[in-house]
Amino acid sequence: MNKISNLLVYGSTHALVDATCAGIIFSMTVSTEQFFNLVVLYNLLAFGLQALIGLVSDRYDLPRQFAMIGCAIVAIASTIFHEALILAICLAGLGNACFHVGGGCISLNLTPKRASAPGIFVAPGALGLLIGTKIGTLGYFISWHFVLLLLFSCVLILYIEIPKIDYARQGKKVNPSIFEVAVLLLLLSIAIRSLVGLALVFPWKSNTTLLVILTLGVVLGKSLGGIMADRYGWIRVSVIAMLISSFLMSFEPNIPYLAIVGLFLFNMVMPVTLVAISNMFSGRPGFSFGLNCLALIIGSLPTFVYIFKEINSSLVFIIIMVSTISLLVGLSLYFRFNVIIKDKTLPDSGH
């Protein structure tokens, strides 16, 4: 029951934090160039700071505190963006990063070493982004509504009992070079998925109904991906999902429901790589969660260049296949040379 309560509180707050940040961004009345620059600034802070914040959270055991601080900072940002836009964007990015580290650290310890809970925690973010984007675009963003909801979330976070956080650091029992190769391959797979997710263009997304269905597909993909991977094997589920999605997303992007199925499968992989990285950096859940997000922002950087704003189907297929190979080899090394050798709590590899 405590696990469910934590997922409800932190998952819903995740959606709320992302909705607030998106509402702020899409309520801005600036030029197209200014909008682009501010969005880049926000993303660099929101994703790029998490590894550093995670180090502090792990050092002083502060996941709950960072989750609450993140909510408070985002609430402040929502009240000042009309008067101090750049400061508000910076605060929104910082607050978002703080909340993600705190909530992510707690979710990683709800189902230790397994992907189920982290996938469920991360999933609502996509729904929050959609809601916040629509509210901001339509001019319905009202700061105090979000401030009250964020403060209420802080109260829930303060009083809910969180799981015991495992900060025990186990020495590397493998050849360091193998450890590094596995981590780099998994991070590469994450970065490439981020690139593909941002570079793909779906002309039918202007249809609100299809956009909602697409978002729900992303949410379900992340939620069910961890559960299915824990049950049927990480490698089996994630690699099969990537292979099928590579065809649907590369060659059928203009057929809405096939592309949506492809994105659903594409997002099933996220919880697996998230938790694999966390397990390899034992005792550092905040840092490892942030490391995943750092890979996401690094992968998105090429989309800031015009040539990567649209890519053809063949190139998409090749890029996704590179990510799939990186994922397969990275996970194989993870299970073969894991830092927690012979740990019976590790999920099945799925070979």
Per-residue pLDDT of 150-166, as tens digits, reads 999 999 999 999 999 98
Which CATH number is associated with domain 2-159?
Answer: 1.20.1250.20
Give yes or no for a contact between 213 and 260, defined as CB atoms under 8 angstroms apart. yes
Token couple for 62 = 């502060």
Distance of CA 295 to the CA centre of its chain: 10
Q: What is the DSSP-derived secondary structure letter of residue 310?
A: S
* Confidence tier at 70 by pLDDT (50, 70, 90): very high
**190-206 confidence digits (pLDDT tens):** 999 999 988 888 889 88
Give yes or no for a contact between 283 and 168, defined as CB atoms under 8 angstroms apart. yes
Mean of pLDDT over the chain = 92
Backbone φ and ψ of 217, nearest 5°: -65, -40
79 versus 313: the higher-pLDDT residue is 79
CA angle in degrees (0–180, nearest 5) for 256-258-259: 65
* Confidence check: pLDDT of 312 > 80: no
Cα–Cα distance for residue pair 168/161, rounded to 1 Å: 20
Instruction: Provide the H-helix boundaries in 26-142.
Output: 32-48, 50-60, 63-80, 85-108, 116-122, 124-137
Give yes or no for a contact between 157 and 68, defined as CB atoms under 8 angstroms apart. yes
Counting residues of the chain whose pLDDT is more than 70, the rounded percentage is 91
2-159 and 176-336 agree in CATH topology: yes
Q: Where are the domains of the chain?
A: 2-159, 176-336
Q: What pLDDT does 345 receive? A: 55
* Burial tier of 79 (Cβ tally within 10 Å: 0-12, 13-18, 19+): middle
Rounded mean pLDDT, 11-34: 96
* Confidence check: pLDDT of 337 > 80: no
Rounded mean pLDDT, 134-151: 97
Is domain 176-336 annotated with CATH 3.90.1150.10? no
* Confidence check: pLDDT of 348 > 70: no
Token couple for 293 = 């997000």
Give yes or no for a contact between 315 and 261, defined as CB atoms under 8 angstroms apart. no
* Confidence check: pLDDT of 114 > 70: yes
* Burial tier of 155 (Cβ tally within 10 Å: 0-12, 13-18, 19+): exposed
Token couple for 284 = 């550092």
Helix (H) or strand (E) holding 177: helix 176-199
Distances (CA, A) of 287 to 26, 63, 167: 30, 11, 11
Rounded mean pLDDT, 203-227: 95
* Confidence tier at 20 by pLDDT (50, 70, 90): very high
> How many CB atoms are located within 10 Å of the residue 219 CB?
22
